[in-house]
Amino acid sequence: MSFWLAVLRQVARNLRQTWPSQFMTLLTVSLSVLIFAFFYLVYMNMLGVGDKLGDDLRLIVYLEEEPGPEMQEQLRRKILAFDEVEQIRFISKAEAYQRFADQLGNDRDVLDDMPRDFLPASIEVVPLKNLRSLSQVKLFSDYLARLPGTLKVQYGQDWIERFYYFTRLLSIVVLLSGGLLIMTTVFMVSYTIRLTILGRQAELELLRLVGATNNYIRTPFLIEGVLQGILGSTVGIISLYTLFHWIKLRFSGPGILTIFEFSFFQGPTVATIIFISVLLCTVGSYLSMQKFLRI
């Protein structure tokens, strides 16, 4: 009989003997994967939405007077003192006038009577597109408003900031549920395997006496862990996918969900989640064996 055939027979026997606890473990693993993947999915989609919002986000600092080159350099240094930014652009009164005129298009003749410098000079600041800088847009704008010579600061709606604050909160939830996933899978799997080992002490002892190698005794338990990982994470992901589609169908009317395109995980992400679950379950079964299999 080949090694693997013998090992698989052992696994089948284990599962038959301890299926109630095996089933509970499977359920726990699936649920943990589901919870984690759910929050992660929401988070990913939020990031996607954030990217779109971030594209349009810029702060416009209106200045009392047009800065000379030296003044521009000073302001630039002051801005960078707060945080790194994607871009800083100075717009002179003439440029502002030109832009406005371009925007008016055919109606530009209403400007004919206006002086060429009636619009204030300004600085356009484009913040970096990362969560940290985006979530402190308000702080940034307050800081800019306090710079000498500024009239006022304009930026996109308040809710952008709140949105990023929420995303940050969500990232904490993702981390927490990830921690939960690690704990439950490792502990549950090591717990069930401990049950199996303790329930079969006599048999494992006999196997050693008749000359079973360590691998012969150990591998079935490792396979059990791997199976728990594969099945548990697959069930978890499939449940999430079903949930995802249900929500999409259910709320496909007009509203925020239609403005933004929500998407499920890509293949590699799914593979990574499954791989990590398998790894965790294997660690769980390994821990149990280290403790309870006296070889």
Contacting positions for another protein (CB under 8 A): 1-3, 5-6, 9, 202-203, 206-214, 216
| Cβ 130 to another protein shortest distance, Å | 53
| Cβ 41 to another protein shortest distance, Å | 46
Alpha helix (H) ranges present in the chain? 3-17, 19-56, 69-82, 93-104, 131-135, 137-145, 158-199, 201-209, 214-250, 256-259, 267-292
- CB nearer another protein, residue 216 or residue 241: 216
Residues 72, 65 contacting (CB under 8 angstroms): no
- CB nearer another protein, residue 28 or residue 196: 196
- CB nearer another protein, residue 214 or residue 258: 214
- CB nearer another protein, residue 220 or residue 236: 220
Dihedral pair phi/psi, residue 136, rounded to 5°? -110, 30
| Cβ 129 to another protein shortest distance, Å | 57
Q: Which residues contact 230 (CB under 8 A, 6 or more apart)?
A: 274, 277, 278
In degrees, rounded to 5, the angle at the alpha carbon of residue 240 between the alpha carbons of residues 269 and 49 is 65
CA R_g for the chain: 31
- CB nearer another protein, residue 206 or residue 271: 206
| Cβ 263 to another protein shortest distance, Å | 49
Q: Which residues contact 177 (CB under 8 A, 6 or more apart)?
A: 35, 36, 38, 39, 40
| Cβ 27 to another protein shortest distance, Å | 27
How far apart are the two ends of the chain, measured CA to CA in Å?
23
| Cβ 289 to another protein shortest distance, Å | 15
- CB nearer another protein, residue 209 or residue 259: 209
Give 152's DSSP letter.
E
